[in-house]
A and B are shown apart, each in its own frame.
Chain A
Amino acid sequence: MTNYSLNHLQELEAESIFVMREVAAQFENPGLLFSGGKDSIVMVHIARKAFWPARIPFPLVHIDTGHNFEETLIFRDEMVGKLGAKLIVGSVQEAIDSGLATEETGFSASRNMLQTISLLSTIEKYKFDALLGGARRDEEKARAKERFFSHRDEFGQWDPKNQRPELWNLFNGKKKIGEHFRVFPLSNWTELDVWMYIRRENIELPSLYFTHERQVFKRDGMLLAWAPFMMLKDTEQLETRTVRCRTIGDMTCTGVVLSEANSIDDIVAEVAASRETERGNRADDKRSESAMEDRKKEGYF
Chain B
Amino acid sequence: MSEEFNSDEYINMELLRFTTAGSVDDGKSTLIGRLLYDSKAIFEDQYEAVKVASEKRGEEYVNLALLTDGLRAEREQGITIDVAYRYFSTPRRKFIIADTPGHIQYTRNMVTGASTANLALILVDARKGILEQTRRHAFIASLLKIPHVVFCINKMDLVDYSEEVYNKIIEDFKSFSTKLEVTDIRFVPISALKGDNIVDRSQNMNWYQGPTLLYLLETIHIASDFDLVNCRFPVQSVIRPFSDEFHDYRGYAGRVSGGIFKPGDTVMALPSGFTTTIKQIDTFNGSIEEAYPPMSVTLLLQDEIDISRGDMIVRENNVPQVDQDIDVMMVWMNEKPLKLGGKYSIRHTTKELRCLIKDIKYKVDINTLHRNLEDKNIGLNEIARVSIRTTQPLFFDKYKLNRITGSIILIDEGTNETLGAGMII
A residues in contact (CB < 8 Å) with B? 2-15, 17-18, 21-22, 24-25, 48-55, 137-138, 140-145, 160-161, 163-170, 172, 174-176, 187-188, 190, 192-193, 196, 199-200, 265, 268-269, 272-277, 280, 289-290, 293
Q: Is B241 an interface residue (CB 8 A)?
A: yes
User: Are the CB atoms of A166 and B112 closer together than 8 Å?
Assistant: yes
Bound complex: CA of A27 vs CA of B116, how far in Å?
Answer: 24
Bound complex: CA of A200 vs CA of B96, how far in Å?
Answer: 21
Interface string of B264-298 (1 = CB under 8 A from A): 00000000000000000011110000101011100
Interface string of B205-218 (1 = CB under 8 A from A): 00000000000000
Bound complex: CA of A55 vs CA of B241, how far in Å?
Answer: 7
Bound complex: CA of A21 vs CA of B239, how far in Å?
Answer: 10
User: Are the CB atoms of A24 and B260 closer together than 8 Å?
Assistant: no
| B336 partner residues in chain A, CB cutoff 8 A | none
Q: Is B404 an interface residue (CB 8 A)?
A: yes
User: Are the CB atoms of B2 and A272 closer together than 8 Å?
Assistant: yes
Of all chain B residues, the one with the shortest Cβ separation from A163 is B82
| Known contacts A8-B15, A53-B243, A54-B239, A170 near B408 by CB under 8 Å | yes
User: Are the CB atoms of A25 and B350 closer together than 8 Å?
Assistant: yes
Q: Is B12 an interface residue (CB 8 A)?
A: yes
Cβ distance A282 to chain B, nearest Cβ, rounded Å: 10
User: Are the CB atoms of A190 and B67 closer together than 8 Å?
Assistant: no
Bound complex: CA of A170 vs CA of B2, how far in Å?
Answer: 39
Cβ distance A273 to chain B, nearest Cβ, rounded Å: 3
User: Are the CB atoms of A49 and B421 closer together than 8 Å?
Assistant: no
Cβ distance A228 to chain B, nearest Cβ, rounded Å: 30
Bound complex: CA of A273 vs CA of B43, how far in Å?
Answer: 10
Bound complex: CA of A6 vs CA of B13, how far in Å?
Answer: 9
- The 6 A-B pairs with the shortest beta carbon distances in the complex, nearest first, are A273-B2, A141-B70, A49-B284, A8-B15, A280-B45, A17-B296
- Beyond contacts A7-B14, A54-B239, A276-B44: 20 other A-B pairs, Cβ-Cβ < 8 A, are A5-B14, A5-B222, A7-B15, A11-B15, A11-B294, A21-B254, A48-B284, A49-B283, A54-B240, A55-B241, A144-B86, A161-B82, A165-B333, A166-B418, A172-B347, A190-B87, A190-B89, A273-B1, A277-B45, A289-B49
A-B pairs with beta carbons under 8 Å apart, 12 shown: A13-B296, A18-B236, A25-B309, A54-B242, A137-B85, A144-B84, A145-B82, A161-B81, A167-B111, A192-B10, A196-B7, A277-B43
Which one of B87, B242, B253 contacts A138 once the chains associate, using CB atoms below 8 Å? B87
User: Are the CB atoms of A167 and B70 closer together than 8 Å?
Assistant: no
Which one of A25, A141, A188, A274 contacts B87 once the chains associate, using CB atoms below 8 Å? A188
| Known contacts A53-B241, A54-B241, A269 near B5 by CB under 8 Å | yes
Bound complex: CA of A172 vs CA of B309, how far in Å?
Answer: 15
| A141 partner residues in chain B, CB cutoff 8 A | 67-70, 84
Interface string of B97-118 (1 = CB under 8 A from A): 0000000000011011001100
Which one of A15, A145, A160, A172 contacts B409 once the chains associate, using CB atoms below 8 Å? A172
Bound complex: CA of A277 vs CA of B50, how far in Å?
Answer: 14
| A169 partner residues in chain B, CB cutoff 8 A | 116, 255, 404
User: Are the CB atoms of B245 and A8 closer together than 8 Å?
Assistant: no
User: Are the CB atoms of B94 and A8 closer together than 8 Å?
Assistant: yes
| A268 partner residues in chain B, CB cutoff 8 A | 5, 7
User: Are the CB atoms of B290 and A2 closer together than 8 Å?
Assistant: yes
B residues in contact (CB < 8 Å) with A? 1-2, 5, 7, 10-15, 43-46, 49, 53, 67-73, 75, 81-87, 89, 93-94, 96, 108-109, 111-112, 115-116, 222-223, 226, 228, 236-237, 239-243, 245-246, 249, 253-255, 260, 282-285, 290, 292, 294-296, 309, 333, 345, 347-348, 350, 403-404, 407-409, 411, 416-418, 421
| B94 partner residues in chain A, CB cutoff 8 A | 8, 190, 193
| A265 partner residues in chain B, CB cutoff 8 A | 7
Of all chain B residues, the one with the shortest Cβ separation from A197 is B11
Bound complex: CA of A60 vs CA of B416, how far in Å?
Answer: 28
Which one of B13, B68, B84, B243 contacts A7 once the chains associate, using CB atoms below 8 Å? B13
| B283 partner residues in chain A, CB cutoff 8 A | 49
| B292 partner residues in chain A, CB cutoff 8 A | 4
Bound complex: CA of A280 vs CA of B253, how far in Å?
Answer: 39
Bound complex: CA of A48 vs CA of B239, how far in Å?
Answer: 12
Of all chain B residues, the one with the shortest Cβ separation from A49 is B284
| A54 partner residues in chain B, CB cutoff 8 A | 239-243, 246
| Known contacts A170-B347, A188-B96, A276 near B228 by CB under 8 Å | no
Which one of B11, B44, B67 contacts A275 once the chains associate, using CB atoms below 8 Å? B44
Bound complex: CA of A199 vs CA of B8, how far in Å?
Answer: 11
User: Are the CB atoms of B295 and A170 closer together than 8 Å?
Assistant: no
Cβ distance A268 to chain B, nearest Cβ, rounded Å: 6
Residue picked from A8, A17, A193, most chain B C-beta under 10 Å: A8
Which one of A14, A48, A280 contacts B255 once the chains associate, using CB atoms below 8 Å? A14
Bound complex: CA of A157 vs CA of B403, how far in Å?
Answer: 33
User: Are the CB atoms of A172 and B10 closer together than 8 Å?
Assistant: no
User: Are the CB atoms of B70 and A142 closer together than 8 Å?
Assistant: yes
Bound complex: CA of A17 vs CA of B404, how far in Å?
Answer: 17
User: Are the CB atoms of B46 and A9 closer together than 8 Å?
Assistant: no
| A175 partner residues in chain B, CB cutoff 8 A | 416
| B350 partner residues in chain A, CB cutoff 8 A | 22, 25
Of all chain B residues, the one with the shortest Cβ separation from A281 is B45
Of all chain A residues, the one with the shortest Cβ separation from B422 is A167
Of all chain A residues, the one with the shortest Cβ separation from B223 is A5
| A18 partner residues in chain B, CB cutoff 8 A | 236, 255, 296
Cβ distance A188 to chain B, nearest Cβ, rounded Å: 6
| B409 partner residues in chain A, CB cutoff 8 A | 167, 170, 172
Bound complex: CA of A175 vs CA of B1, how far in Å?
Answer: 46
User: Are the CB atoms of A187 and B223 closer together than 8 Å?
Assistant: no
User: Are the CB atoms of B294 and A4 closer together than 8 Å?
Assistant: no
User: Are the CB atoms of A172 and B70 closer together than 8 Å?
Assistant: no
Cβ distance A10 to chain B, nearest Cβ, rounded Å: 8
Cβ distance B76 to chain A, nearest Cβ, rounded Å: 10
Of all chain B residues, the one with the shortest Cβ separation from A2 is B290
Cβ distance B242 to chain A, nearest Cβ, rounded Å: 8
